[in-house]
Chain A
Amino acid sequence: MATYLPGVVADPKPGPYRELIEQARRSDSEYGRIWELFAYQSDFTIHMGRFTHGLLRQPASISPGLRELVAACTSYQNECGFCTQAHAAAAATLLGSEPLVWQALRDVDSAPLDEKTKALLRFTAKLTRQLPAVGAGDVDALRAAGWDDDAIYYAITTCALFNFYNRWITATGVPEMSREAHARQGHQLATRGYIRD
């Protein structure tokens, strides 16, 4: 399955993503075709990688596992199969349960999560789907649920970032990988992060 923009796929710039693609092709292994977008405009995507890594991994009062869950929840709401699979797998590794992650995505009300985490996921869904309706009252509700401003900042910014990624890769036609490849890649994201340069 090709992406919509062969002119972009055919023109990877020298750098870590082109090397990753070449390596995967040599060993005939499946790779995330988001790499082709990263390889195409490296002066831009070098910032994306560093930004993503800092946002999802640097010390903050919300754990990296819950930040990955916010990323997966945003992607699920936007029906971005690739990002949902990738970040659900990363969240499953960091939180220690794949069924919990998928239940949280499919039906937050019935998921065995505390009310504080449910409030965060409901807020993520609202910011993704009902942008202009989000206001100070929604942030106050998160504070009342027990989140501090640092955690709220990370949740909002992660949700915003995945509203970018979901559109960038679905509009350019990046397809989902197999379940096995996503599980492998998600584990990599969980353990080694997002900086490739």
Chain B
Amino acid sequence: MAFRPETAVHLRALAETLLRGPNALTSAERESIAAFVSSRNDCTFCYLSHRAAAAHHSGGDYSFVDAVTSGNHAAPVTPKLRALLAIAGKVQQGGKQVTTDDVARARAEGATDVEIHDTVLIAAAFCMFNRYVDGLATWTPADPAAYDPMGKRMAAQGYIGVSPAQRQAEVSQAPR
């Protein structure tokens, strides 16, 4: 996001509000939705970095986020989150796929309109971030372990005021 810093500053503010701002869904859940959508969009950089961030909102444990992204939505994924992920998956395919039945199913599992809206918002936002990153051919390591320090920083410090040079340094420090 170095090319046009005045654009990137808004994108980072969006990520901060969406993933770390006050919300009924936990940051681990929101980062997992981000990783889930990015994985469906085959966007390796977003998938692996938000997977790592989700894990570091759970003390570095990857089991929750991996259950979410695998599509094998058994425990620890709750029925409510499962219904929200069904909506997120449809948003990834295209907003028109989401029907009032999907919304009713999520409500029946205990999701509020606010949580449904925020799920749509995060899923739609990652359909943006994924195209931004893929279209601009951002540099992308393939090794999941390379993203662990980045995820740790994303979980602890967030998205504001991090330079591309700092992100690059995080990945080069990662265990190989």
Contacts and interface: CB of A to CB of B under 8 A. Distances in A.
Interface of A: 4-8, 37, 40-41, 43-44, 47-48, 50-51, 54-55, 58, 78-80, 127-128, 131-132, 134-136, 139, 149, 153, 156-157, 159-161, 163-173
A147 B96 CA distance: 33
A8 B131 contact: no
Given A153-B3, A168-B125, 4 more contacts: A4-B103, A43-B17, A44-B21, A170-B95
Q: Of B18, B98, B112, B128, which is in contact with the most chain A CB atoms at under 10 Å from its CB?
A: B128
A173 B102 CA distance: 12
B131 A160 contact: yes
Contact of B114 (A8, A78, A165): A8
Given A79-B94, A134-B135, A5 B14 contact: no
Given A79-B96, A171-B91, A164 B124 contact: yes
Interface residues of B, number: 44
Given A58-B6, A78-B94, A78-B95, A172 B131 contact: no
A60 to B, nearest CB: 9
27 contacts: A8-B113, A8-B114, A37-B117, A43-B17, A44-B14, A51-B7, A51-B10, A78-B94, A79-B94, A128-B131, A131-B130, A131-B134, A132-B41, A132-B134, A139-B137, A149-B3, A156-B131, A160-B128, A163-B131, A164-B124, A164-B125, A164-B128, A167-B123, A167-B127, A168-B120, A171-B90, A172-B117
B124 A159 contact: no
Contacts of A170: 94-96, 98
Interface of B: 3-4, 6-7, 10-11, 13-14, 17-18, 21, 41-43, 87, 90-91, 94-98, 100, 103, 112-114, 116-117, 120-121, 123-125, 127-132, 134-137
A54 B134 contact: no
A169 B10 CA distance: 20
A165 to B, nearest CB: 8
Contacts of B43: 131-132
B103 A153 contact: no
Nearest to A161: B128
A58 B10 CA distance: 14
B132 A160 contact: yes
Contacts, number: 132
Contacts of B87: 171
Contacts of B10: 47-48, 50-51, 54
A44 B137 contact: no
B21 A43 contact: yes
Nearest to B136: A156
Contacts of A44: 14, 17-18, 21, 121
Nearest to B133: A160
A135 B103 CA distance: 35
Contacts of A163: 124, 127-128, 131
A129 to B, nearest CB: 9
A176 B45 CA distance: 35
Nearest to B132: A160
Q: Of A54, A131, A139, which is in contact with the most chain B CB atoms at under 10 Å from its CB?
A: A131
Contact of A171 (B13, B95, B137): B95
